[in-house]
A and B are shown apart, each in its own frame.
Chain A
Amino acid sequence: MVARREWPVDIHPLPPLLHNQPQLIAGEVRRLAVELLASYDAVAVGYADCGTYGALDAVCDELGLKRLPGLHCYDLYDGEARLAARLEAEPGTYLLTDFLVRSFERTVVRELGLDRYPELHDDYFRHYTRVVWLAQEPDAELRTLAQQVAERLRLPLTVVPTGTGRLEAAMADLLSSVISG
């Protein structure tokens, strides 16, 4: 996206698995941002609140940074209101993104210990009724993988093609506010 839009931006990622320990996100963002502020004109944060429950906003305020909008990553694909409606309609919804579909074994199965303790399956997923894949760039391979994930969770799969338009718009807004501000 950055390359296609020719944005003058370098991306410095943090490990996605931090999402499973969201209490560490704000500190890690702070550490990296302080480091980058020394060598860049501007730094923006490519996270939503992501389970930091306001701690990330405190870091942004402290360092004068801006972040992507939303409560979590899923909002950036589906839109906050649409996603909230989806979860309200069926609270037992388990969400997937392309990233989660591709990395499911590592980011979910292994992290939740389901590889070592398959008997925990029901402790985690007893109350879930469906899997909703927010499909950004669905292709045949991802479709097969998403189906496999749903089968592994023993839940029906709904595919919601979201594209990456909302994320791209949010990124564009973030960049223009950082560059103009």
Chain B
Amino acid sequence: MTSSPEEILRGLFDETLVGNAPRVLELTEEGLALGMEPQTLLFEALIPSLEEVGARFERGDFFVPEMLIAGRAMAGAMERLRPLLAETGVETVGKFVMGTVKGDVHDIGKNLVNIMLEGAGFEVIDLGVQVAPEKFVSAIEEHHPDIVGFSAFLTTTMPMFKANMNALEKAGLRDSVVVMVGGAPVTQEYADAVGADGYAADASATVKKAKALLHEKRAKVTA
């Protein structure tokens, strides 16, 4: 079956939206076979679709499972596209180290943020869940990321943000890395109170905010 590029893009958007992972992978292959650019598939279909998923979640039309299957479908396509994107020599937008804080094992939101960051061209290093302050510190020393993200979901684990910040200060790393925080209970006020540089309420807002913070950081360095 041969489809036109427009049909491929529409199909990718629609099938990601309903989380049909096998079909998304098929369409990705078809698109590539047609000679479509990986960036086109990503920016004109996959990312807009996951943004629509986020918007539906916000409105209450989608719940967690719908969001997860869509995320899985997109992640499957990313697996296929990642090496191709690397080959095209497009520079990464920036390096992002991400983890769910110590004591917390909620990670759905974090994983979605990672997919969107990666789609937007960030190199993401995911430290997983229950990440202790020392582990964030050593990951920053090892990878020299532009941004580090802390994710928390429980009232009882939110104070780990402050503990992480203190650990960064103590290790003398605070000024070398931009800190973003997020997770269902987190607010801008809370982010300000712990001294983070940025907060975002969902995955697409995280991408926007991360890019803006990097821009600011680089402007400062060159100024």
User: How near does chain A come to B108, taking the closest CB pair, in angstroms?
Assistant: 7
Q: What residues on B are CB-neighbors of A21 within 8 Å?
A: 60
Contact: A120 with B68, CB < 8 Å?
yes
A-side binding surface: helix, strand, loop or mixed?
Answer: loop
Contact: B68 with A127, CB < 8 Å?
no
Contact: A113 with B64, CB < 8 Å?
yes
Within the assembled complex, what's the spacing in Å between the Cα atoms of A144 and B187?
A: 42
| A residues neighboring B (CB under 8 Å) | 20-21, 49, 51, 53, 71, 84, 87-88, 91-92, 111-114, 116-117, 119-120, 123-124, 127-128
The yes or no answer to B2 lying at the interface (CB within 8 A) is no
Contact: B155 with A113, CB < 8 Å?
no
| Known interface pairs A53-B185, A91-B104, A113-B66; A127-B72 also in contact (CB < 8 Å) | no
| B residues neighboring A (CB under 8 Å) | 19, 60, 63-66, 68-69, 72, 102-105, 107-108, 111, 129-130, 155-156, 184-185, 187
Contact of B156 among A87, A117, A128 (CB under 8 A): A87
Within the assembled complex, what's the spacing in Å between the Cα atoms of A124 and B64?
A: 10
- Contacts A53-B155, A113-B63, A120-B65 aside, 17 further interface pairs with beta carbons under 8 A come to A21-B60, A87-B103, A88-B103, A91-B130, A92-B130, A111-B63, A113-B64, A113-B65, A117-B65, A119-B72, A120-B68, A120-B69, A123-B68, A123-B72, A123-B108, A127-B105, A127-B130
Contact: B65 with A71, CB < 8 Å?
no
The 3 tightest CB contacts between A and B, nearest first, are A113-B65, A127-B105, A53-B185
Q: What residues on B are CB-neighbors of A91 within 8 Å?
A: 102-105, 130
Q: What residues on B are CB-neighbors of A51 within 8 Å?
A: 184-185
Contact: B68 with A113, CB < 8 Å?
yes
Contact: A117 with B69, CB < 8 Å?
yes
User: How near does chain A come to B19, taking the closest CB pair, in angstroms?
Assistant: 8
Contact: A112 with B130, CB < 8 Å?
no
Q: What residues on A are CB-neighbors of B187 within 8 Å?
A: 53
Q: What residues on A are CB-neighbors of B19 within 8 Å?
A: 117
Within the assembled complex, what's the spacing in Å between the Cα atoms of A128 and B129?
A: 11
Within the assembled complex, what's the spacing in Å between the Cα atoms of A127 and B102?
A: 13
Q: What residues on B are CB-neighbors of A116 within 8 Å?
A: 65
User: How near does chain A come to B72, taking the closest CB pair, in angstroms?
Assistant: 7
Within the assembled complex, what's the spacing in Å between the Cα atoms of A87 and B107?
A: 16
Contact: A112 with B105, CB < 8 Å?
no
User: How near does chain A come to B164, taking the closest CB pair, in angstroms?
Assistant: 16
User: How near does chain B come to A171, taking the closest CB pair, in angstroms?
Assistant: 22
Within the assembled complex, what's the spacing in Å between the Cα atoms of A84 and B107?
A: 20
Contact: A84 with B156, CB < 8 Å?
yes
Closest to B186 in A: A53
Within the assembled complex, what's the spacing in Å between the Cα atoms of A127 and B65?
A: 17
8 CB contacts below 8 A, A to B, read: A84-B156, A87-B156, A91-B103, A91-B104, A120-B69, A123-B111, A127-B129, A127-B130
Within the assembled complex, what's the spacing in Å between the Cα atoms of A91 and B185?
A: 18
Within the assembled complex, what's the spacing in Å between the Cα atoms of A92 and B68?
A: 20
Within the assembled complex, what's the spacing in Å between the Cα atoms of A151 and B70?
A: 28
Closest to B157 in A: A91
Closest to A52 in B: B185
Within the assembled complex, what's the spacing in Å between the Cα atoms of A127 and B99?
A: 14
Q: What residues on A are CB-neighbors of B107 within 8 Å?
A: 127
Q: What residues on A are CB-neighbors of B66 within 8 Å?
A: 113
Within the assembled complex, what's the spacing in Å between the Cα atoms of A128 and B185?
A: 21
Q: What residues on B are CB-neighbors of A128 within 8 Å?
A: 105
Q: What residues on A are CB-neighbors of B72 within 8 Å?
A: 119, 123
